[in-house]
């Protein structure tokens, strides 16, 4: 989610998340579990060759029957015990004929000398190789279905997560180790999404073209937040996205807006999303837009907790401009 001063508000959530992750870790890390092939053949879905693919993060299942959605995002912590749940959820996504996008969150284990402060060093040293291999091996067995893996997202939004600590060098080393370890499992169907929030510092976290298949960005429209900080009116999608896109277009990688949403009165949400759809075609590298259809897990300071949910019919936008042709 978008960078805000929410550290104190979210501290309890971070503690609870760490406890949950470690409970899973203690229950299953040391005992590998077998992953068998799906009992029945599942659909193999590809991203469209042309235009912008629509996607959702939809924890309540509101868009489960939407036929025009091609990508479905899930968020899971990396634990060996959690790999089984990841596969189960991925197979549910596949039954809906969608490409799975996994937000794999590297919550630190807190035991045996491992903690938040040493997260990146522990990753590089191999302390987390077991859950990495479990998750990537399991997802690799979904081949030939492509699975998009978004590890350590929004690392540039300081204070948002234990992996967003203002340590670009440490993050890059850990991200590369994650990708190398995944590739070492033999999984050939995974595509790696390097996904900063869009801060001006994001280029410091670039791991290199060999480690990135897609660039992910976050673009959220919270009008009350904008006005509270001196804007005359809520910012449009183009006003938020333009600078972020400009920071990553030089990499030449296809771009996914992995978290896209608006909050506020229903009429404002519908207008904001519709205007965004009209702007998509101006960005030739843009290949997918994923709506974050949920209540934000953390308050944005005193402005409050944004509710990003929209009814069916608001997203995907009814009319999206054709995508521009990339310059040769």
More confident residue, 230 or 30: 230
Is residue 19 scored above 90 in pLDDT? no
Average pLDDT over residues 237-244: 97
> In sequence order, what are the residues at sequence separation of 6 or more whose Cβ sits closer than 8 angstroms to the Cβ of residue 75?
57, 102, 103, 105
pLDDT score for 301:
85
Which of 228, 226, 246, 244 minimizes the C-alpha distance to 236? 226
pLDDT score for 83:
86
Average pLDDT over residues 97-109: 96
d(CA 161, CA 165) in angstroms, rounded, equals 8
Cβ proximity of 61 and 118 under 8 Å: no
pLDDT score for 3:
42
Residue 151 Ramachandran class (φ > 0 left, ψ -120 to 50 alpha, else beta)? beta
Query: Which residues partner with 56 through β-bridges?
Result: 72, 291
Say whether the peptide bond before residue 144 is cis (omega within 30 degrees of 0): yes
Percentage of residues in the chain having pLDDT higher than 90: 73
Is residue 127 scored above 70 in pLDDT? yes
- Per-residue pLDDT band at 112 (split at 50, 70, 90): low
- Per-residue pLDDT band at 40 (split at 50, 70, 90): low
Which of 25-39, 109-123, 146-160, 233-247 has the least mean pLDDT?
A: 25-39
How much is the pTM? 0.87
Is residue 73 scored above 50 in pLDDT? yes
Is residue 8 scored above 80 in pLDDT? no
Task: Give 40-303's CATH code, choosing from 3.90.700.10, 3.20.20.80, 3.30.1360.20, 1.10.3720.10.
Answer: 3.20.20.80
Is residue 307 scored above 70 in pLDDT? yes
d(CA 51, CA 289) in angstroms, rounded, equals 11
Average pLDDT, the chain: 87
pLDDT score for 79:
79
pLDDT score for 166:
97
- Per-residue pLDDT band at 82 (split at 50, 70, 90): confident
pLDDT score for 41:
87
Is residue 161 scored above 70 in pLDDT? yes
Average pLDDT over residues 87-96: 96
pLDDT score for 305:
94
> In sequence order, what are the residues at sequence separation of 6 or more whose Cβ sits closer than 8 angstroms to the Cβ of residue 207?
172, 175, 176, 179, 194
pLDDT score for 318:
80
Q: What is the DSSP letter of 219?
A: E
pLDDT score for 93:
97
Is residue 228 scored above 50 in pLDDT? yes
- Per-residue pLDDT band at 113 (split at 50, 70, 90): confident
- Per-residue pLDDT band at 323 (split at 50, 70, 90): low
Q: Where are the alpha helices (DSSP H) in 188-302?
A: 223-228, 237-248, 266-279
Is residue 21 scored above 70 in pLDDT? no
Average pLDDT over residues 63-67: 93
Is residue 250 scored above 60 in pLDDT? yes
Average pLDDT over residues 63-79: 94
Which of 230, 217, 201 minimizes the C-alpha distance to 303? 230
d(CA 280, CA 268) in angstroms, rounded, equals 18
pLDDT score for 115:
83
pLDDT score for 80:
64
pLDDT score for 299:
86
């Amino acid at each position: 989610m978008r960078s805000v001063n929410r550290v104190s508000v979210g501290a309890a959530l971070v503690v609870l998340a760490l406890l949950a992750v470690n409970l899973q870790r203690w229950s299953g890390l040391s005992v590998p579990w077998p992953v068998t092939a799906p009992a029945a053949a599942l659909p193999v879905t590809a991203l469209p060759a042309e235009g912008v693919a629509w996607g959702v993060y939809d924890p309540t299942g509101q868009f489960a029957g939407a036929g025009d959605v091609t990508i479905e995002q899930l968020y899971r912590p990396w634990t060996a015990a959690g790999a089984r749940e990841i596969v189960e959820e991925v197979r549910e996504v596949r039954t809906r004929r969608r490409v799975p996008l996994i937000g794999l969150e590297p919550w630190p284990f807190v035991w045996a000398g491992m903690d938040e402060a040493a997260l990146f060093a522990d990753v590089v040293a191999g302390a987390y190789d077991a859950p990495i291999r479990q998750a990537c091996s399991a997802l690799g067995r979904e081949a030939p279905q492509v699975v998009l893996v978004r590890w350590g997202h929004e690392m540039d939004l300081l204070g948002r997560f234990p992996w967003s600590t203002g340590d670009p060098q440490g993050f890059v080393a850990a991200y590369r180790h994650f990708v190398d370890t995944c590739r070492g499992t033999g999984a050939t169907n995974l595509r790696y999404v390097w996904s900063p929030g869009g801060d001006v510092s994001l280029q410091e976290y670039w791991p290199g073209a060999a480690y990135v298949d897609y660039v992910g960005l976050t673009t959220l429209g919270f009008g009350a937040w904008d006005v509270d900080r001196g804007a005359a009116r809520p910012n449009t999608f183009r006003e938020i996205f333009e600078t972020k896109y400009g920071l990553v277009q030089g990499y030449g990688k296809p771009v996914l807006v992995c978290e896209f949403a608006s909050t506020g009165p229903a009429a404002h949400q519908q207008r904001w999303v519709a205007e965004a759809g009209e702007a998509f075609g101006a960005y030739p590298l843009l290949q997918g837009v994923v709506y974050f259809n949920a209540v934000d897990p953390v308050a944005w300071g005193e402005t409050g907790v944004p509710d990003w949910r929209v009814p069916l019919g608001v997203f995907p936008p009814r009319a999206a401009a054709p995508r521009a042709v990339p310059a040769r």
